Amino acid sequence: MNDAERFLILNMIEDLGSIRTQALLECFGSAGKIFKAGQKDLEGVGGIGSKIAPKIWHGIREIDVSNELELIKKNNIKIITLLDKDYPKNLKNIYDPPVVLYVMGEIISEDDLAVAIVGSRRASFYGMKTAERLGFELAARGVTVVSGLARGIDSSSHKGALKAKGRTLAILGSGLINIYPEEHRILAEEISENGAVISEYPMLTIPDKGNFPKRNRIINGFSKGVVVVEAAERSGALITADCALQEGREVFAVPGKVDSNTSKGTNKLIKQGAKLAETVEDILEELNLSDRVGRIGIYNNKEYLSPRLDKCESLVYNLLTSEPQHIDELSCALKLRVSEISSILLNLEIKKFARQLPGKNFVKEN
């Protein structure tokens, strides 16, 4: 048995965790010596005691990792342990770094220069557009974009980085066999070809809700700073922001509309001292990265819209503004029947590109 297999076993032992594993390594000096230790020796390690020691002793002898190793090999997954020289240095410096990283793709030294973008799963079009723009512009500057692959803000930031042909890392709250959400499986594959999809959980771990707050510390650990784009008052993104502050990372928040639920969390962060982020320059300057990154690319809004809107929808969307316009005005401007415009506007509403106001007035959703 090699050290990688030993760490996989330690990572699977209930209630052991990173802090206690580090205490064991400090006491015994290596994973091999931990495996040779008696139960009484284990009990004497700080933080272990009589409740955890039996779990470790029995786990070492009873956990079979053969199926795990087979899944790792079959899916071309790389394992990085806490003691490996290629363990990400930013992540290693947090309070409780993961014992094991399961990596689909590749982590490279350039990923040390990374910024996280997080936010609401139920994001508005404005939020998703902003996250994608920031992801694009950061990646175009050579900054790795880190997020959690979730619906809404997370996936939008990954897509922005990919459009810039830059690097992005997705941190999961499940095993790499169980990509969550399922509809982002193709996105995960694209990320693995331009960065990495990463988890600390064994391959078959389901996306349990308790895993996600824990994975947020990894998002922070990879990053120089965290940008919250949209968040409700009790959002998981705010947990990420709290973790970032505890680890000494900078926290940024994108301001939003005062009457939007998904802006309450970000606006509150700004009141509490988070740096206001309207542009990528706000982020880079605060992190003292402006002189260390490449020239910025141009974010192409048409490229962003084209996969999601057909030709007619794009025409109507481009005519909409933040000022209400009656359906008759739109019909007249585009020389289309009201019934045709109505159908197109309904599609735009469903896609969150437009919003209907009283009196058949419409505005661009932003």
pLDDT score of 301 more than 60: no
Which tokens belong to 16? 């052991």
% the chain with pLDDT above 90: 66
3-state secondary structure (DSSP) of residue 273:
coil
- pLDDT of amino acid 349: 87
CA distance 101 to 81: 6
pLDDT score of 45 more than 50: yes
pLDDT score of 259 more than 80: no
CATH fold of the domain at 104-298: Rossmann fold (3.40.50)
% the chain with pLDDT above 70: 95
Within the chain, strands assigned E span 78-81, 100-105, 114-118, 144-147, 168-171, 195-199, 225-228, 250-253, 275-276, 325-326, 354-357, 361-364
Query: Radius of gyration (Cα) for the chain, nearest Å?
Result: 24
User: Looking at residue 276, what DSSP letter applies?
Assistant: E
What is the b/e burial string over 159-177, where b = at least 16 CB atoms within 10 angstroms of the residue's CB? bbbbbbebbbbbbbbbbbb
- pLDDT of amino acid 35: 96
CATH number of 1-64: 1.10.150.20
Output the pTM of the full model.
0.81
Residue 155: what are its φ and ψ, rounded to 5°? Answer: -65, -35
Shortest CA distance to 99 belongs to which of 219, 244, 201? Answer: 201
The stretch 72-76 carries a mean pLDDT of 97
Of how many residues is the chain composed?
Answer: 366
The stretch 5-30 carries a mean pLDDT of 95
**pLDDT digits over 181-231, tens only?**
999 999 999 999 999 999 999 999 999 988 998 999 999 999 999 999 998
Residue 291, judged by CB atoms within 10 A of its CB (0-12, 13-18, 19+), counts as exposed
Residue 104: what are its φ and ψ, rounded to 5°? Answer: -105, 105
Query: What residue spans in the chain does CATH classification 1.10.10.10 cover?
Result: 308-364
pLDDT score of 54 more than 80: yes
CA distance 54 to 256: 51
CA distance 79 to 34: 20
- pLDDT of amino acid 304: 45
CA distance 60 to 8: 10
Which tokens belong to 318? 């481009």
pLDDT score of 283 more than 80: yes
For residue 319, name the pLDDT band (cuts at 50, 70, 90).
confident
The stretch 140-159 carries a mean pLDDT of 95
- pLDDT of amino acid 293: 66
- 253 contacts 277 by C-beta, under 8 angstroms: yes
Average pLDDT, the chain: 90
**pLDDT digits over 114-133, tens only?**
999 999 998 888 889 899 99
pLDDT score of 292 more than 70: no
- pLDDT of amino acid 291: 65
For residue 265, name the pLDDT band (cuts at 50, 70, 90).
confident
- pLDDT of amino acid 353: 83
- pLDDT of amino acid 337: 92
Residue 66 neighbours by CB under 8 Å, 6+ apart: none
The stretch 45-59 carries a mean pLDDT of 94
Query: What residue spans in the chain does CATH classification 1.10.150.20 cover?
Result: 1-64
Angle at 140 between CA 171 and CA 176, to 5 degrees: 20
Residue 149 neighbours by CB under 8 Å, 6+ apart: 155, 158, 170, 171, 172, 179, 180, 181, 184, 187, 188, 191, 197
Query: What residue spans in the chain does CATH classification 3.40.50.450 cover?
Result: 104-298
Q: Give the architecture-level CATH label for domain 308-364.
A: Orthogonal Bundle (1.10)
3-state secondary structure (DSSP) of residue 269:
helix
- pLDDT of amino acid 247: 79
3-state secondary structure (DSSP) of residue 330:
helix
